[in-house]
Amino acid sequence: QVQLVESGGGLVQAGGSLRLSCAASGRTFSNYAMAWFRQAPGKEREFVAVISRSGGVVYYADSVKGRFTISRDNAKNTVYLQMNNLKPEDTAVYYCAARLGTTLYTQGGGYNVWGQGTQVTVSS
């Protein structure tokens, strides 16, 4: 199965932008549905966005819809999360996750491969 490594987190002011990347090892990346989740201190992990294997289908949490964009480049084995108009409430550790197959889950339990996470901090 693939292994995932996130990057691109950091500190940004409210209203700013960041792009997260999740690089996957292995030759079967295109067989995996990919998702982003986040977890803020003292809160449960929550779904952010998911993308189908081809990139043709995406879903977003209501809290990020219109501000975040998930995309993937199967030639580069990478999934991205472009985050615009960031808010302090977006502060969290962001994780990418993978699941072999076509089903697009919005629950963390649907994924069996996780990255180590990258911290995003949005100051007011």
pLDDT, one tens digit per residue, over 35-84 is 999 999 999 999 999 999 999 999 999 999 999 999 999 999 999 999 99
Outline where DSSP puts E strands in 14-117. 18-24, 32-39, 46-51, 58-60, 68-73, 78-83, 92-100, 113-114
Query: With 80 as the cut, is the pLDDT of residue 27 above it?
Result: no
Mean pLDDT of the chain: 96
Is the separation of the CB atoms in 83 and 74 below 8 Å? Answer: no
